Homo-oligomer: A and B are copies of this chain.
């Protein structure tokens, strides 16, 4: 049987993991699954990476074009990252009729339609299981296992850095900055953590999921994204008192009959009995609500060398099974097209319950003033919580609302913040609904 030849571009963390897994499992794939793979070429600018990896007899180069231009290569694995060089590579590989595997969430989120259209034309597959949720089979579950369902909602913890920081703040009472430094020290956060803690990374992944689920392109700029850097000690403590915990959630919802999709990323209060509350530290989870299956959760490591490599390898085997069976691909690549841009629900239109933490002077009638303004905007309060103050000049007053329209809440807050008893910016955290 003809060997299936693989070219790997990028031998960093994930690429190194792929080299290791192919080395470990290569004989199992050949002897037990009947799939003979050969890691034929590896390209990386840093030559020292080759010496640290079990590259076998792969030809190592610093020139990615060697892989693209090798007519014997069947599958190109792009693990370079970024949306410029990586995009050119993938387009070149597809143009040459090669299958492509990538873990590049930014690229798929931004240029998915272009890439998939080219793959469709070239009669090859682009697989990207590793782009969402590391080792968890998120893409396969959405595209294959839940194919008989309308997926009505997704709630997901999809960034391990943020989840680690929030868990540390909650368990150890750390402030955000301290927890971030600890995450960096443990290798769970980058030196520049902006993309993680700002929610952008979660946004990429949520955009990919929403695109696959609803078969349309989700422009990143239309998604409401809020990170975790404003979460305070008081927010964490209030959550605890309310039997809740704070997680950075990606949310995707489509109400029956509505023409727009609610896609957003923001810190969210969830009840401690909610299944997502048990997702701790760097773990990720995706809770999909299907019309037939009901709630289904995937949980696991969402990043890291071997978990992510595990998904790349599952994509390799998927493509190799097609090649071995003599078919270019089984699942069409027309997941979503630029022309089919999904209508995204503006954040102003969502309906949610809210946690509000006002920082006010400790004077009479303040509570009544706030409640009156909220009432003017049809926002009704479900409970009020008093907290010990850590500041001298002001105290936190915490209110939970019943369901309200975000626009009303934002307008009410804007009005409340003009009052002279308000001493600091109000914290707003949305509260998740149902528990599973």
Q: Mark A272-293, 1 if CB is under 8 A from B, else 0.
A: 0101011110010100001111
Task: Judge whether A300 and B310 touch: CB under 8 Å.
Answer: no
Q: Which of B135, B294, B326, B330 contacts A296 (CB 8 A)?
A: B135
Chain A residues numbered 35-53 whose CB sits less than 8 Å from any CB in chain B = none
Tell me the complex Cα distance, A293–B294, Å.
26
Task: Evaluate contact between B310 and A293: CB separation under 8 angstroms.
Answer: yes
Task: Give which listed residue, B299, B322, B330, contacts A297 with CB less than 8 A.
Answer: B299
Q: How far is the CA of A137 from the CA of B141 in the complex (A)?
A: 7
Q: Which A residues from 123 to 148 make CB contacts under 8 A with B?
A: 129, 134-137, 140-141, 144-148
Provide the residues of chain B in CB contact with A294, threshold 8 Å. 135, 300-301, 306-307
The docked-state distance in angstroms from the alpha carbon of A173 to that of B285 is 31
Partner of A298, one of B25, B291, B298, B326: B298
A132→B278 CA distance, assembly (Å): 24
Classify chain A: how many residues form its interface, as a range: 35 or more
Asked if A7 is an interface residue, CB under 8 A from chain B, the answer is: no
> Chain A 39-78, CB within 8 Å of chain B: the 1/0 string?
0000000000000000000000000000000000000000
Query: In angstroms, how far is the closest chain B Cβ from the Cβ of A4?
Result: 14
Select which of B34, B146, B292, B329 is within 8 A of A309 by beta carbon: B292
Which B residues are CB-close (under 8 A) to A292?
Answer: 17, 21, 135, 306-307, 309-310, 313
Cα of A201 to Cα of B425 in the assembled complex, Å: 56
Chain B's closest residue to A300 (CB) is B296
Q: Which residues of B sit under 8 angstroms from A321, Cβ to Cβ?
A: 330-331
A277 to B317, CA, bound (A): 34
Copies in the complex: 2
Q: Which of A135, A311, A331 neighbours the largest number of chain B CB atoms within 10 Å of its CB?
A: A135
Q: Is the CB of B145 within 8 A of A137?
A: yes
Partner of A295, one of B278, B300, B322: B300
A380–chain B nearest beta-carbon distance, Å? 31
> A310's contact among B137, B148, B307, by CB below 8 Å, is which?
B148
Max chain B Cβ within 10 angstroms of own Cβ: one of A129, A291, A329, A330: A330
Partner of A273, one of B135, B278, B299: B278
| A97 CB, nearest partner CB in chain B, Å | 17
User: Is there contact, CB below 8 Å, between A144 and B317?
Assistant: yes
Determine whether A414 belongs to the interface, using a CB cutoff of 8 Å to chain B.
no
Q: Does A327 touch B at the CB level, under 8 Å?
A: yes
Whether the Cβ atoms of A148 and B33 lie closer than 8 Å is no
In the complex, what's the smallest C-beta–C-beta distance from A332 to chain B, in angstroms? 6
**How many angstroms from the CA of A381 to the CA of B291 in the assembled complex?**
49
9 tightest CB-CB pairs across the interface, nearest first? A148-B313, A135-B293, A137-B145, A297-B299, A296-B300, A292-B310, A292-B306, A325-B327, A278-B278
Question: Mind listing 5 A-B residue pairs with CB under 8 Å?
Answer: A17-B292, A32-B215, A34-B332, A296-B299, A325-B327
